[in-house]
Structure 1
Amino acid sequence: MATNGRTVTVFGGTGFLGRRIVQRLRDHEFPVRIASRHPDRRRSQFGPHDSQLLFVQADIHDERSIANALAGAYATVNTVSLYVERGRETFHSVHVESAQRVAAEAHRAGVKRLVHVSGIGADAASQSRYIRARGEGELAIRAAFADAHIIRPAVMFGPDDAFLTTILHFLRRLPIYPMFGRGSMKLQPVYVEDVAEATVRIIERAETQPTIFECGGPRVYSYEELVGIVARQAGLAPILVPIPLAVWHALAWASEMLPDPVLSRNQVELMQIDTVSSPEMPCLAGLGISPLPVEAILQKMLSKCG
């Protein structure tokens, strides 16, 4: 594949956010390498053959395969995330050790831009193992690649997401909707396509000063308010019932025993804090992006969900 000095390697390029980043990079005419442990399984996600889109085998736990995926790249994006720990795949091994490994290999390879996807609320001092690993990962990345850019999205929504789609799933099946606690926690949902576009603009921008961007949507909701909006647009009128967070933790623990858990403990932990962007942090507007609100695409998601 001809690199023309602009090749971008995307780790996690087949995930919910990653594949949108790949598409946006191609829209901006960047050649892209999608680094994946099982590249042959994922080609069908990207439609017709594209000579400027290459799938390469890479394991974020293995330095050599990371180095091979980064050879000659201009930039790299790391969107790899973990929500349920299994075996050697722990929050620390993925969000700290592997993130640091990608950053170190990128620095060694002479990569000019590194964009790492973290999350609003990342905090190295948190009692939550998931949230703490996110924060520790940011520190490890900066130690290995001083000019790294970090994106912290709020909870992301869009077709085939695990957020609004899950809310809608239960609203349609349960006459009584169980809320996280009293539903008072604050959320600032951000459209996944806006985060993908922000990632590409960070790679394109002339400024190289390392920056943390907090990407939230245009409106802050309480969880109860957001559930109500989804229900009304779906033509539903459920009874919203507060459920103590201790109960949710127990349910999440049981769910994690399943092969495909519908709820994880880190999701419950995130619902215990407000995930709202800080006004002091650069955001989507600073990249020339006007974020779309939930209501703008909810109807499309409703029709797609049947």
Structure 2
Amino acid sequence: MAQHAPLVTIFGGSGFVGRYISQAMARAGWRVRVAVRRPNDALFVRTYGVVGQVEPIQANIRDDASTRAAIQGADAVINCVGILYKDGKQTFEAVQNHGATRIARIAAEEGVGNFVHLSAIGADPESKSDYARTKALAEAAITDAFPGAVILRPSIIFGSDDGFFNRFAAMTRISPVIPVVGANTKFQPVYVDDVADAAALAAQGKAEPGVYELGGPDVETFRELMVRMLGIVRRRRLLLAIPFWAARFQAKVLNLLPIFTLGLVPNSLLTPDQVKLLEVDNVVSDGARTLEDLGLTPRDMDAILESYLYQYRPQGQFTAMTESAKVLK
């Protein structure tokens, strides 16, 4: 890879969304630094480009020195780091507020040309959820430190290795019941490649500074999304709506896991903070700038979900053949 090609540092570039952004930047001809805490676990990113184009490096966004080392010499910086639950020192404040702010501040000090931050729809400094509150605090601090920043707020993101549809589809293999917390809460799922394309455009200076809310063409309730998933995996399961009061109690019990296991097992199943998030609709707000303002047309779920959820069908890839055979009998 030519050394004069522009360089982007992507914090969290080996995660679910980050790896798609890394690929998008490599396709655009950029050299890519994938900044992660454990680079040995991210060696697979090297396959995203030609030899030497994409490289994982060590960085901890809770530390000034390693963050600065990862940013130095970069033409653009993208921050994809986020967490859904607390795990040791990886708290919402440390990662999503102070960590994101540190990246933006150092990027400005190092003269980086473009800065892109992945936030979330629902970011609100007054939110009861620590996740949403710290996302909002980071947005404000980033805008102060780097006024030309582009902030992307996606709704729930789907794709072949997502943690949403895959999680519930896997549940259908072992459980006759699918619990649904916030059955009537609305979501606007957005395809991971659309989010990656938006981030890549912004990193290349092809987006006006400011906030963009990213959602797909479909707005559906949690229950409707589960019905859609069940139709794709060809399974009948009872969808059990869990009242918020019951979900809050369940989450408090599950929160004892780290205590009883001396911190070895975090509560990644259902936390009180996640219950608070599920109480609020997760859709693009009226008047917000969207994917269309970036020249992108959001892709719907139909064909894409089918392309990776088929593996959860009773006969997997042979389900369609089995169904056809039944018709011929």
Structure 1 residue 85 displacement after superposition: 1.2
Q: Distance in 2 between matches of 1:21 and 1:102?
A: 17
Alpha-carbon displacement from aligned partner over 1:147-192 (angstroms, at most 9, x marks no partner)? 11100000001112111111212233322322214x1111100111
Alignment TM-score, normalising by the size of structure 1:
0.93
RMSD over aligned Cα atoms: 1.9
Structure 1 residue identity aligned to 2:44: S
Q: Tell whether the 8 Å contact from 1:100 to 1:137 is kept in structure 2 after alignment.
A: yes
Q: How does 1:141-180 map to 2 (within 5 A)?
A: 141-180=142-181
Question: Which structure 1 residue ranges, 5 or more long, are not aligned?
Answer: none
Find the counterpart in structure 1 of residue 102 from structure 2: 101
Structure 2 residue identity aligned to 1:200: A
Secondary structure, in 3 states, of the residue corresponding to 1:240? Answer: strand
Structure 1 residue 251 displacement after superposition: 2.8
Q: Distance in 1 between matches of 2:93 and 2:111?
A: 26
Find the counterpart in structure 2 of residue 273 from structure 1: 280
How many aligned positions are there?
Answer: 304
Structure 2 residue identity aligned to 1:127: K
Secondary structure, in 3 states, of the residue corresponding to 2:173? Answer: helix
Q: Tell whether the 8 Å contact from 1:9 to 1:69 is kept in structure 2 after alignment.
A: yes
Structure 1 pair 99–54 and aligned structure 2 pair: CA distance change class (3 A)? same
Q: Distance in 2 between matches of 1:87 and 1:226?
A: 32
Q: How does 1:244-283 map to 2 (within 5 A)?
A: 244-256=243-255, 257=257, 259=265, 261-283=268-290
Q: Tell whether the 8 Å contact from 1:5 to 1:73 is kept in structure 2 after alignment.
A: no
Alpha-carbon displacement from aligned partner over 1:260-298 (angstroms, at most 9, x marks no partner)? 623333332221110001231111111222211121211
Q: Tell whether the 8 Å contact from 2:155 to 2:282 is kept in structure 1 after alignment.
A: yes
Structure 1 residue 47 displacement after superposition: 2.9
Structure 1 residue 206 displacement after superposition: 4.3
Q: Percent identity?
A: 35
Q: Tell whether the 8 Å contact from 2:216 to 2:299 is kept in structure 1 after alignment.
A: yes
Q: How does 1:59-98 map to 2 (within 5 A)?
A: 59-98=60-99
Q: Distance in 2 between matches of 1:59 and 1:194?
A: 27
Q: Distance in 2 between matches of 1:184 and 1:6?
A: 46
Question: Which structure 2 residue ranges, 5 or more long, are not aligned?
Answer: 259-264, 317-329
Find the counterpart in structure 2 of residue 50 from structure 1: 51
**Stretch deviating more after TM superposition (252-261 or 140-149):** 252-261
Q: Tell whether the 8 Å contact from 2:5 to 2:30 is kept in structure 1 after alignment.
A: no
Find the counterpart in structure 2 of residue 28 from structure 1: 28
Q: Distance in 2 between matches of 1:304 and 1:23?
A: 25
Structure 1 pair 304–29 and aligned structure 2 pair: CA distance change class (3 A)? farther
